[in-house]
Amino acid sequence: MLLNQFLGLAAILFCIGVYGVLTRRNGVMVLMSIELILNAVNINLVAFGAYQGDVGGQVFALFVIAVAAAEVGVGLAIVLLIYRNRRSIDVSEADLLQG
């Protein structure tokens, strides 16, 4: 296997995630797309780690997973709050601060 095959796969996944973040209006779906982006990053980290013969890449991916868990927890709490205040989780409706 060549390293750039992994990197190419991760790049495609990353772009899918970016598209999702930009187009979905459902708050939960936006968070899911962010998870896709983080997974693309994880693929890269592990691939680079294997390339360098070092477990550092895997350790870094472990940190990314832990941080993703924290991010989802807080993110979903915010979505829940938006829903409680506006009866909808459409992120484009949460625009009270818009001038």
Partner 1 sequence: MGNVAEVIVFLISGAIVLGGGLGVILNRNPVHAALSLIASFFGVAVLFISQEAHFLAFVQVVVYGGAIVVLFLFVIMLLGVDRAEQVRVEQLSMQRPLAIVTGVMLFGLAMGGLFLSGPGGEEGAVAATGQQSAMVPIDETEPNVRQLGLDLFTRNVLAFEATAILLTIATVGAVVLVRNEGAEDLVVDEPGTSIG
Q: Which residues pair with 26 in a beta bridge?
A: 90
Least distance to partner 1 from the beta carbon of 46, Å? 5
- Residues with Cβ within 8 Å of residue 36, at least 6 apart in sequence: 13, 14, 16, 17, 20
Q: Is 85 in the site for partner 1 (CB under 8 A)?
A: no
Q: Is 94 in the site for partner 1 (CB under 8 A)?
A: no
Residue 29 CA neighbour count, 13 Å, CB half:
14
Contacting positions for partner 1 (CB under 8 A): 1-9, 11-20, 22-26, 28-29, 31-33, 35-36, 39, 42-43, 46-47, 49-56, 58-59, 61-63, 65-74, 76-81, 83-84, 89, 92
